[in-house]
């Protein structure tokens, strides 16, 4: 409620156009649905253009079903992320109209049809694909044109350079890498646009389950690179979509 | 050089329109200026829309002067960052037409006049101001409209909410915080647009010189948040500018 | 035994009112019950107002049964924490009068009836609920009025503000958060009373199994916040009870 | 502004008792004083019972003087912490009515006269005294009875036991320790009341500048212990005062 | 072979008392038994007074059986440590004359009968017992008088003080603790003799799987404390035995 | 394509000896085989003398089979590393001409027959053997003479010195160690040649899953030592082979 | 006061041999001297055979002088450690009968004349000498025969083996090393006696200011090795003396 | 002394060709020069082809002068590394025939004239030059042909590709990088030969003083990369020389 709307409401109240109770409600209303164990942020689709996203990991099937039942009624679209295929199957039994993306471990209501701009998703290795897919499905559900180029890590950098044309055409890039996490810095130096660095826990030993990768990415010399959490494909896809759509 | 340009060059070569030597040069030309101790990436203004930025810290005054002399001749604008006022003074003796921003520790050739969009820079505390200023000056030099709101950390969160209107109007936000680094996550939940989280080394003890802050930011639940290096005001400003200008 | 009691004992001894052996015993008595593998601190209910609490994790069922048998005879009430439901079931077979709280993973003798003050427990997410429940059950067993508000993390901070009235009325607050752990700092800035920050291992990647959360909490700018161990719901509930009861 | 006050304001507005502008102002008023580089949280004394506390470290003398000038006019009392004696001297030139506590590195307007309860501050070593003093002065300024026992670390634990009577009489304890940080856990086991563990950076080598101490404290087996940031004497004193005063 | 022995050997060689081949052998002989995948250090019983100790963890049953077969023939006594009961059972099928200590997870040839001195083993908690037992069995096999006092952690320190007499009589102490690891520092301050601090991985959260405990122990203010690896009961028992026997 | 080849190609193009399309292709050709989820770097055998090596861990059996089918047709030899025996068995069903090395967890097409130089592989313990074997099989497949000496760790250093002659004759050494990781530094001081330090995750507690070992190795005082990732037997074997073959 | 002494005191009290006041005093007496900022543990020479040792670092000159004045009157001998030569000079002005050991940074009252056993101190490098000297002076002041062999690190291990005879004759060894910290493990494998591993902060980069060294030492495969804090020469010397004197 | 030499010596001894004393000496001789505080490893030039290298950092000028005096007499060549120019000047006063390389902070007796192979040194940035120079001077002193290409970091990777021809011709590469440390992995994928990754402490914030860089390098996907300590230019140069000379 901005300054103008507030003035309007109070003027209307003084003039008797709006009853006292309604004024109180509008100033105090609950912008979420309270399930006790969860508070669905139903204003988020207004505030941020897309409903709240549910993190599947760490919730029981019962909790997930209750949340999905509510949000499915209220919203045109929604996402559940980090959802294992076993749990997804049991949810689809009750909600057969939803779509599950196995590689991405994402459950969604529907894929947006109108596609805009180009979000390019590059992965350093084959093992990074599930996290890259999480980012890709997120961005597609949110209405973006998405293209994927997998396994173009720096150990054979000519594989990357072969795609230079499409790389330079993308409006936003998501660069996914585990191990030493160097790919975002290299890509950052090749393009004009913003690069979202997405570290994964792929690797072993001194990768420290992804810490090595995010340290590399935070230290990137290319100033067009910003980093999200290890294995946070959803976050990368969401942010890329925001930048791609470009309006507030 | 894209596919089309390559085809054109080779066709011209075969037709004799372009001499052999020139073809070789154009395929092999040096897209940088070699000073021995540094290679100025003179193609960057073509490739990325702004010339290479010089990190002032860790270079000798002699190295800086040589680099600035070259880049000043070649480019319409450039930045030197993390430059202490003592060193800046000695450089300004030789290059009096440059501008030094003391709080931001930035030397620039000129400030872009045409301003676009709105980049909002929020700082959690007063001690974060130098890094926030580095981001602000960078974004201004790069041609963005910039607004700053300082000292709105979560310990008195009503200071933040008082600016909700401008916060929600910004196209991109840079949120600067040291200590526990919570502000970007809170702001991320309030706005639609992308939030660049900029951790600082401000604080003491368990802040671990900024590690605590960037861990907080990487773990942010708001999916519109991405993080840059500790104290990397320049990077945050640059990336915000990219997103604000919005075109590749 | 304080100075006055000591003087009294020694005077009585000199006067022959107390036999030598009793004096020795009273000066040397064993304030615990020795089971070999464990020493039950039976004085603790005198010294600290509540009997020793048994950490269920890391003990065998046999050890737990022996401890419970003894403590059940000696004490009016006691707690076993971090007790999985499988183990709890086997203990309840032998001690059917005890109560097991599945979500909180706590076994208790009885819940105190008289309730005092208000301890408010806030959780940032749904996945934090088991640890929040551990704190809640602990505080209830210890005789406190407890209220819980779950899933009010900073990514949708209006969910928190909607409860501002009850938040400001609580005498002590326990704020539970995993991931980036920002909620306690925000709440700390909103209330007068003490806030116990309870980090959880909920999250993934850069949460470092809870380290990120406790670093955030230790760095909190709000000076009314203190932190306990990751996932230590019992400790938070116990300390909150102490503060709530307010007397030494 | 609670539900009742809001209803009252809106009723008054409708009845014309309160002009529109005033209603807007009261709903929108700025609960802080904006100095540009800082926003003084002037509502904090209402909200939390004591004005905002200024962290001296990391601010310029000019910033500090401007902040102090404002806050000195507005508030009955205030604190500046982590203020070196050199800077304090220059501030006292302009504000001679303020008091500077050198050992504690604190500047305050006045010491509260009415003292309540007993906050006991224990330090493990002599080198921990400056941080212990920061906690002590904070608590005294805030109107608490404070007693200090220094150099009672666990390497000679009889020094601690000699003070058992006073230790058990204290309403709140602040236990300060660097190095291995064991003292709070030991004290926690001896008393009924809450113990605030205050780690310091005192020590060398494997103390990791205080990290070892706070890890020890977070892991404390005594459930009446909570931990604040390394060297955060102010926070410990503030929280102890809150608990000591005991009312919301 | 010392200077005197070397001189003797060479003199004998020159005099023809020792054949050339034997001289070469004695200068070059293999002080171990080579099994390919392992080299049994058969000189160790000469060099260090006890045969090589086999780490059971990380070896296959086949490797263990081959090693045990050889060492059993060659040595009067030996130890296999960190050996799970499942594997031990299969080894005992082939070597029924060996003894397995389940709690300590140790397999030994025989327990030395002559006992000397007193090694006292204190554990902070019940969950530390398996590691304490590993230390105890090691010391007993090596011919020491061993006494154990379990569950005397600092949260109820009177349990410790009740054993002060025996604690002060011990020639060497092994103090076992997980969690915050404070017990060794406290015990170190109470006794004259050397204290071996044995950290365990017992605990959760900020214990960092034992790192918190060993940092505490390394930082101990009591100068009679030295630390071994996390969960290294064998090492602590071995070193205590060395100190107890006291001769080189 | 070097300067000379480029000049030749362009001259040929101008002279009409090479068609335009071919010139474009040769300048733009794809030096890899694209399977979508993977890009086989088929130029690597030209560029680096050996085809791309496939990391078995983290790929599905389907992905592995598709990759192997392609690479098996294209290349004379290849390696799949970190391949568990269960997965290997299923691959061997389809590709029975390949060889699987169980201890080394490596699948290879064939072992090179011509052997050159001497790569000596030393392991500190028996548990390090699987990683040492990974290095050994890699080096053998790549055409090196390899010798292995296992279990010569520094706790019985005479076992090492007994092999001094062969140790000093090796052209390259790979020294494998977990736990405290001291062996490479000791060996480095004994030999002229380069030493590749290969840390393993073998050990427990303060080994931090191999971090302790690689820190030791990076700090080695012997200047002929360089370190690879924890458990990276393949990398060590590959690099040793490169150095052994000695030509670019 | 043991059981027997307690019985005696109480019997004497009952018989009137000891006045009430004295009994109270003897049960309650202050076993330390209270200077306010420090509590001198004057019983320590009884309890542990040597007076409290003062850590010079982190205390003001005034504090040190006051402590030394008291302890000098009370005790036959004492130590001040980590005392810079500048501060030492100012103390020697007032206490000219004390001795300062510059390399070891130790101030002592006198060196014990009677020497016993042999403590051998080995250092890996020349830069480790100050810490090695701290250990050596401590052990000498405490009445031990001490021998030093410096600069025998593992990069040239023959330097170590040349001293094998004296190394094997020592009753206790202190092995000092920075960088990779391997020397204690090697020495541990060569000797029967206990080895105190003393890590130093010597080195750079991945030494992490001594963390790498103590991790190496904690992981030592030789079971006769225990570790003290980084740069804690005093602790190593003290513990070695305890073991060398061998009686409780 | 190998088997054959030993047999020869003993045969000669038996035959009386070699006196007893000489035999003892040859078996027991001191392969170093003992200065007390240092043991110069004078056999190292025999054993490893180059005399011991002195680490200048952490030694006093007096120690350095004594070491240099001895080694200068004994050896044809030697190096002192990490030597500040201030200290170097004072050493050159006494030893004017030595050469000091200011950028590399190295003092050497003479530069080898005969040059062999090609060691290529690449640095990611200008600030990495001092460490790159340390590697370069080391390799040159040791008789290698060295070429340097500075400032070719991945943020402008075309600068690197422009030197592909020389990069692929080098026999060994040293790749120096701070910040995110990605360059070695990229270079490793471009060349056949071995790559020595040399991390520097250049950067700020999340570079963690070089830890981020060495983690990146240890995780490198290119199998021809091995890593040395942070800022260890000497080690990289020495190892590159060893590989370049290629013989044992």
Query: Measured in Å, how far apart are chain A's first and last C-alpha atoms?
Result: 16
Residue of C nearest to E148 (CA): C36
Tell me the average pLDDT of chain H.
87
Q: Of H156, D6, E18, which Cα lies nearest the Cα of A9?
A: D6
C54 pLDDT more than 50: yes
Residue E147 phi, psi (nearest 5): -130, 145
CB burial class (10 A; 0-12, 13-18, 19+) of residue C86?
exposed
Would you call G243 and E194 a contact, using CB atoms and an 8 Å cutoff? yes
Tell me the average pLDDT of chain E.
87
Cα F171 from Cα F161, distance rounded (Å): 18
Q: Of D56, F156, D224, which Cα lies nearest the Cα of C234?
A: D224
Which one of E2, E4, E11, E13 would you mutate to disrupt binding with H, by most H Cβ within 10 Å of its Cβ? Answer: E13
Cα G154 from Cα F222, distance rounded (Å): 8
Q: What pLDDT is recorded for position D38?
A: 78
Residue of F nearest to G182 (CA): F182
Would you call A216 and H212 a contact, using CB atoms and an 8 Å cutoff? yes
Weakest mean pLDDT among D89-98, F160-169, H8-17, H171-180: H8-17
Would you call E24 and H14 a contact, using CB atoms and an 8 Å cutoff? no
Chain A touches chain E, with at least 3 Cβ pairs below 8 Å, answer: no
Cα D213 from Cα D206, distance rounded (Å): 10
Kindly indicate the confidence band of residue A26, based on its pLDDT and cuts at 50, 70 and 90.
low
Q: State the smallest CA–CA distance between residue E244 and chain D in angstroms.
A: 23
Would you call C204 and A59 a contact, using CB atoms and an 8 Å cutoff? no
Q: What is the mean pLDDT of residues E233-240?
A: 96
pLDDT in tens, G125-169: 999 999 999 999 999 999 999 999 999 988 888 889 888 889 999
Kindly indicate the confidence band of residue A247, based on its pLDDT and cuts at 50, 70 and 90.
low
Q: Which residues contact B242 (CB under 8 A, 6 or more apart)?
A: A192, A193, A194, A224
> What single-letter DSSP state applies at residue F6?
H
Q: State the smallest CA–CA distance between residue H155 and chain E in angstroms.
A: 37
pLDDT in tens, B166-178: 999 999 999 999 9
Residues (pLDDT < 70) of chain F are: 1-6, 21, 24-33, 41-49, 247-248
List chains touching H (3+ CB pairs under 8 A): A, B, E, F, G
Determine how β-strand H195-199 pairs with β-strand H172-177. Answer: parallel
> What single-letter DSSP state applies at residue G149?
E
Q: What is the mean pLDDT of residues A117-139?
A: 95
List chains touching A (3+ CB pairs under 8 A): B, C, D, F, H
Tell me the average pLDDT of chain C.
87
Residue H11 phi, psi (nearest 5): -60, -45
> What single-letter DSSP state applies at residue C220?
-
Cα F23 from Cα F20, distance rounded (Å): 5
Would you call E155 and D217 a contact, using CB atoms and an 8 Å cutoff? no
CB A168 within 8 A of CB A123: no
Distances (CA, A) of A179 to G45, H200, H216, H219: 56, 20, 8, 5
User: Is the Cβ of D185 closer than 8 Å to some Cβ of chain E?
Assistant: yes
User: Is the Cβ of C102 closer than 8 Å to some Cβ of chain E?
Assistant: no
Would you call F126 and E63 a contact, using CB atoms and an 8 Å cutoff? yes
CB G193 within 8 A of CB G166: no
Residues of chain H with C-beta less than 8 angstroms from the C-beta of E6: 24, 27-28
Residue of G nearest to H227 (CA): G206
User: Is the Cβ of H230 closer than 8 Å to some Cβ of chain F?
Assistant: yes
Would you call A152 and F230 a contact, using CB atoms and an 8 Å cutoff? no
Nearest CB to H159; choose among B41, B58, B231:
B41
CB H135 within 8 A of CB H240: yes
ipTM associated with this complex: 0.84
Q: What pLDDT is recorded for position H45?
A: 62
Cα D215 from Cα F14, distance rounded (Å): 73
Residue of E nearest to F152 (CA): E39
Q: Of D58, D15, A184, E218, which Cα lies nearest the Cα of B179?
A: D58
Would you call C47 and D190 a contact, using CB atoms and an 8 Å cutoff? yes
Weakest mean pLDDT among B178-182, C222-226, E236-240, H20-24: H20-24
Q: What is the mean pLDDT of residues G53-60?
A: 89
- Prediction pTM value: 0.88
Sheet with strand G225-227: strands edge to edge: E144-149, E116-123, E172-177, E195-199, E225-227, G225-227, G195-199, G172-177, G116-123, G144-149
User: Is the Cβ of C56 closer than 8 Å to some Cβ of chain E?
Assistant: no
Map chain H to HEC letters: CCHHHHHHHHHHHHCCCCCHHHHHHHHHCCCCEECCCCEECCCHHHHHCCCCCEECCCCCHHHHHHHHHHHHHHCCCCEEECCCHHHHHHHHHHCCCCEEECCCCEEECCCCCCCEEEEEEEECCCCCHHHHHHHHHHHHHCCEEEEEECCCCHHHCHHHHCCHHHHHHCCEEEEEECCCCCHHHHHHHHCCCCEEEEECCCCCHHHHHHHHHHHHHHCCCCCCEEECCCCCHHHHHHHHHHHHHCCC
Cα B119 from Cα B121, distance rounded (Å): 7
Q: What is the mean pLDDT of residues A201-217?
A: 95
Q: What pLDDT is recorded for position G128?
A: 95
Nearest CB to F24; choose among B6, B16, B23:
B6
- Rg, Å, chain G Cα set: 21
Domains of chain G: 31-108 (no CATH), 119-243 (3.40.50.1970)
Kindly indicate the confidence band of residue G92, based on its pLDDT and cuts at 50, 70 and 90.
very high
Would you call F206 and E43 a contact, using CB atoms and an 8 Å cutoff? no
Weakest mean pLDDT among B14-28, B175-189, G118-132, G138-152: B14-28
Kindly indicate the confidence band of residue G113, based on its pLDDT and cuts at 50, 70 and 90.
confident
Kindly indicate the confidence band of residue D52, based on its pLDDT and cuts at 50, 70 and 90.
confident
CB G187 within 8 A of CB F183: no
User: Is the Cβ of B25 closer than 8 Å to some Cβ of chain D?
Assistant: no
Higher-pLDDT residue of G91 and B77 is G91
User: Is the Cβ of C189 closer than 8 Å to some Cβ of chain B?
Assistant: yes
Count other Cβ atoms within 10 Å, centred on residue G64: 21
Q: Of D105, D104, D101, D52, which Cα lies nearest the Cα of D75?
A: D52
Residue of G nearest to E41 (CA): G189
Weakest mean pLDDT among D1-5, D168-172, E235-239: D1-5
Weakest mean pLDDT among C34-38, D51-55, D119-123, E125-129: C34-38
Q: What pLDDT is recorded for position B111?
A: 77
Residue of D nearest to B149 (CA): D36
Q: Of H9, C174, A226, which Cα lies nearest the Cα of B226?
A: A226
Kindly indicate the confidence band of residue C114, based on its pLDDT and cuts at 50, 70 and 90.
confident
Q: Which residues contact E21 (CB under 8 A, 6 or more apart)?
A: none
Window 147-166 of B: residues touching A by CB (8 A cutoff) are 165
List chains touching C (3+ CB pairs under 8 A): A, B, D, E, G
β-strand partners of H174: H121, H196
Q: Of B242, B239, B212, which Cα lies nearest the Cα of B228?
A: B239
Which one of D85, D204, D211 would you mutate to disrupt binding with G, by most G Cβ within 10 Å of its Cβ? Answer: D204
B31 pLDDT more than 70: no
Residues of chain F with C-beta less than 8 angstroms from the C-beta of H248: 168-171, 191-193
Q: State the smallest CA–CA distance between residue G83 and chain H in angstroms.
A: 19
> What single-letter DSSP state applies at residue C115?
-
CB burial class (10 A; 0-12, 13-18, 19+) of residue B22?
middle
Residue C41 phi, psi (nearest 5): -80, 80
User: Is the Cβ of G228 closer than 8 Å to some Cβ of chain E?
Assistant: yes
Distances (CA, A) of D4 to B161, C120, D29: 22, 22, 18
Higher-pLDDT residue of H177 and G22 is H177
Q: Which residues contact F87 (CB under 8 A, 6 or more apart)?
A: F56, F61, F64
- Rg, Å, chain E Cα set: 21
Cα H109 from Cα B18, distance rounded (Å): 55
Q: Which residues contact F136 (CB under 8 A, 6 or more apart)?
A: F104, F121, F146, F148, F233, F237
Number of helical H runs and strand E runs in chain C? 11, 11
Would you call B127 and D31 a contact, using CB atoms and an 8 Å cutoff? no
Q: What is the mean pLDDT of residues G170-188?
A: 95
Residues of chain E with C-beta less than 8 angstroms from the C-beta of F205: 199, 201, 209-210, 214, 229-232
Residue of H nearest to F223 (CA): H235
Residues of chain D with C-beta less than 8 angstroms from the C-beta of B158: 31-32, 41, 43
Share of chain G above pLDDT 70, in %: 88
Q: What is the mean pLDDT of residues D25-52?
A: 66
Residue F32 phi, psi (nearest 5): -160, 165
b/e burial code for range B170-196 (CB count within 10 A of at least 16 → b): bbbbbbbbbbbbbbbbbbbbbbbbbbb
Cα D53 from Cα D69, distance rounded (Å): 14
User: Is the Cβ of B196 closer than 8 Å to some Cβ of chain A?
Assistant: yes
Q: What is the mean pLDDT of residues H130-155?
A: 94
List chains touching E (3+ CB pairs under 8 A): C, D, F, G, H
Alpha helices in G57-128 (DSSP H): 61-74, 85-94
Would you call C243 and D53 a contact, using CB atoms and an 8 Å cutoff? no
Residues of chain A with C-beta less than 8 angstroms from the C-beta of B6: none
Which one of G186, G223, G228, G238 would you mutate to disrupt binding with E, by most E Cβ within 10 Å of its Cβ? Answer: G223
CB D144 within 8 A of CB D240: yes
CB H159 within 8 A of CB H187: no
CB C104 within 8 A of CB C134: yes
To which H or E segment does residue B86 belong? helix B85-94
Q: Of G194, G236, G166, which Cα lies nearest the Cα of E245?
A: G194
List chains touching G (3+ CB pairs under 8 A): C, D, E, F, H
Would you call G218 and E234 a contact, using CB atoms and an 8 Å cutoff? no
CB C131 within 8 A of CB C176: yes
Cα H169 from Cα H171, distance rounded (Å): 6
CB F3 within 8 A of CB H166: no
């Amino acid at each position: 409620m901005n300054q103008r709307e507030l003035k309007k409401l109070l003027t209307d109240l003084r003039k008797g156009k709006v009853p006292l109770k309604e004024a109180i409600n509008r100033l105090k209303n609950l912008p979420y649905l309270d399930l006790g164990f969860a508070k669905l942020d139903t204003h988020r689709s207004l505030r941020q253009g897309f409903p709240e996203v549910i993190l599947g990991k760490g919730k029981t099937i019962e909790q997930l079903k209750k949340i999905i039942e509510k949000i499915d009624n209220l919203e045109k679209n929604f996402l559940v992320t980090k959802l294992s295929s076993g749990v997804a199957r049991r949810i689809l039994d009750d909600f057969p109209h939803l779509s599950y993306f196995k590689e991405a471990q994402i459950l969604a209501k529907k894929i947006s049809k109108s596609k805009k701009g180009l979000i390019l998703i590059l992965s350093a290795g084959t093992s990074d694909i599930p996290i890259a897919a999480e980012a890709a499905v997120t961005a597609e559900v949110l209405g973006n044109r998405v293209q994927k180029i997998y396994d173009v890590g720096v150990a054979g950098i000519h594989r990357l350079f072969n795609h230079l044309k499409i790389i330079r055409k993308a409006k936003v890039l998501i660069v996914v890498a585990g191990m030493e996490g160097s790919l975002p810095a290299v890509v950052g130096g090749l393009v004009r646009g913003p690069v979202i660095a997405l570290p994964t826990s792929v690797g072993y030993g001194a990768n420290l389950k992804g810490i090595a990768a995010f340290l590399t990415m935070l230290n990137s010399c290319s100033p067009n690179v910003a980093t999200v959490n290890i294995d946070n494909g959803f976050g990368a896809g969401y942010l890329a979509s925001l930048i791609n759509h470009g309006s507030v």
